[in-house]
Amino acid sequence: MAETPHYDVLIIGGGTGGLAVASALARARPALRTAVVEPKDTHDYQPGWTLVGGGTMKAEQTRRPMARLMPTTWVRDAVAEFQPDANEVLLASGDRLRYDQLVVAAGLQLDWQRIEGLDDALGRDGVTSNYRGDLAPYTWQCVQNFSGGRALFTQPPMPIKCAGAPQKVLYLAADAWRRRGVPADVHFFNQGGAMFGVPLYARSLDGVMAGYGATPHFGHNLVAVDGARREATFERTDGSGRVTEHYDFLHVTPPQSAPDFIKSSPLADAAGWVEVDRNSLRHVRYDNVFALGDCAGTPNAKTAAAVRKQFPVLVANLLAARDGRAANAGYDGYGGCPLTVERGKVLLAEFCYDGKVVSTLPLDPTRSRRLYWWMKTALFPWMYWHVILRGRDWRHPAHTPHDG
């Protein structure tokens, strides 16, 4: 029988968090035996899908071969089961891997099946979603072909990946229709109670919605789509039952949750996410387990901007633990959401734990700016591919201050 492979650090997931951690470790401690478990052959720059759906970025610009980005041993497999008491991971192939330290960066899953009829309706007759990279070009096709009528946009219960994305697509579509003079009756059906979770930004976005003549419907959760009849059914959270709405265009943001293999594992908290301390990103019950990104049970926005701040903290604490030093690095809950309120302008929402508003630049955070559009379309993609995925701390991109 072949010996079970054993790694100093085993990383689950080849997304933003997993590749950033793997690259940072390779730079800080080249002698470490590390590996990344990832079944996909390509890596997607998911923040770009909004721009693809808005006609300002090509789909091929958002995808690169995983092999070009992988800085360490690549295990092309998926996780079937975590066995943290034995320091082992069971893979879908039946193979096992052992580790000294484990980093979980497995993202989240999109639960399309929880909306009745959606699978059959997606990708045709005006039903689309920028949450699938292959459908983002169809979103722009629908926006271009739209000649008037009712356009519905949905947002499910939180937490979701990039909470601003459901309304970014609305603004880019409404802006395109306004520029062409297309009569659009625009509606935003949000399961939550406000346009954004931070009141300061919510007030600004209320103004953006009003500027487009768009109608928000709070407390409405999409539960069914009838593609043949062009009808969307919503459950009202106030207990007053369901309502069915006609559409000519429908953009759906699917319900989202932790991956099933995390939910069923000893690593999960009550909601299914990896149960880590919100500051150290270290598991609260397994000292040799860390997590970051969308799968981590931290109360912050699930965005690439969060990972940008998380991975240096995690790497510093992981290496400190290896050396027997105190793990003093702390993540403050930073999240950033560049809200594309029109083609050429972005409102940059930045915030930390408990909704504390922060600003990287000394500018009024409630105003949309053309500078932020340049950052969204040019600077942020460059930073993603050349700074974050290469394990460089964005504050000090020329070196790697993670090791001690």
Instruction: Tell me the catalytic residues.
Output: 162, 337
Phi first, then psi: give them for residue 321, nearest 5 degrees. Answer: -65, -40
CB 90, CB 51: distance < 8 Å: no
Which uninterrupted H or E stretch holds 202?
A: helix 199-212
Nearest Cα neighbor of 91 from 5, 201, 217 is: 5
Which uninterrupted H or E stretch holds 246?
A: strand 242-246
Residue 159: is the preceding peptide bond cis (ω within 30°)? yes
| Alpha helices for 37-164 (secondary structure H) | 48-53, 66-69, 118-121, 136-145
Rounded-to-integer distance, Cα 339 and Cα 346, Å: 5
Rounded-to-integer distance, Cα 95 and Cα 37, Å: 12
Rounded-to-integer distance, Cα 184 and Cα 214, Å: 9
Using DSSP's 3-state secondary structure scheme, residue 35 falls into strand
Residue 307 tokens, joined: 């990972």
Rounded-to-integer distance, Cα 360 and Cα 172, Å: 25
Nearest Cα neighbor of 187 from 218, 211, 152 is: 152
Count of residues making up the chain:
404
Which residue's entry shows tokens 């109608």? 215
